[in-house]
Amino acid sequence: MKPSPELQAALDAAAAAAEIARALYRRNLEVRLKEDKSPVTEADWRCEVAIREILATRFPSYGFLGEETGGTDTGAECLWLVDPIDGTKAFIREYPMFSTQIALMRAGEIVLGVSSAPVYGELAYAERGRDATLNGERVSVSEVGTIEDAALSSGNLRTLARSDRWSAYGALVARVARIRGYGDFLHYHLLAAGKIDAVVESDVNVLDIAAAVAIVAAAGGRFTDLEGRPITLASTSVLATNGRLHEEVLRALRSTP
């Protein structure tokens, strides 16, 4: 099925960013620290500028919120959410676990997402009402129905580790069939493709995960924060599952062993 004009714009923007990222990867770029002490490179900025130019040209009335260049008209009904290089630390240390994340939020709901990992070699995308696609193939979540049979991936657990929920998370880990920490884009691609069954993160920015929300949902899964609430601009945690496991995992994370 032909992509909508919005999805095509996001795909074209991701392709432009991929070209820049590939050209600058392993080029020993200067690293600067932002006010929040996170690193940024020339690649982050150049990718976001390219993405912003394409999206603004195609949809000039839409708002934009980017990791590096900030926001414009962020109260607009349609808002692009962009992380030009999600995984800057991986980019800096020259391993391919970084990606470009582009999503569109309409009236407060995420309706499409593109997740492009140009060096790793994966491109996932989806929009509401259509199947999720990974490297040109339709994908769907698994049918695993119990925690004991599930493969769980986790990342960004610092906030969780400092909370009262840490012991409940440990009890959950003890129950699952397999525990890994694929991180960043990869565990969401794996979840959408039915290769793993649940993802837990506790210290995220919505720009890191917005595209994954659309992709996992289109693949048949469910994506909330750790309280079971829908993802919003203010969300900082994730529970993403194949849907069948969602309520059971939420209960497990709320319980005290």
- Per CATH, the number for 5-130 is 3.30.540.10
pLDDT of residue 28: 80
Tens-of-pLDDT digits for all 257 residues of the chain? 789 999 999 999 999 999 999 999 999 888 888 888 788 899 999 999 999 999 999 999 999 999 999 999 999 999 999 999 999 999 999 999 999 999 999 999 999 999 999 999 999 999 999 999 999 999 999 999 999 999 999 999 999 999 999 999 999 999 999 999 998 999 999 999 999 999 999 999 999 999 999 999 999 999 999 999 999 999 999 999 999 999 999 999 987 65
pTM: 0.96
What is the per-residue pLDDT for 76?
94
Give the whole-angstrom CA distance, residue 165 versus residue 187.
22
Residue 116: the pLDDT is 98
Domain boundaries, the chain: 5-130, 147-254
The CATH class of the 147-254 domain is alpha beta
pLDDT of the residue at 36: 80
Q: Which residues contact 89 (CB under 8 A, 6 or more apart)?
A: 39
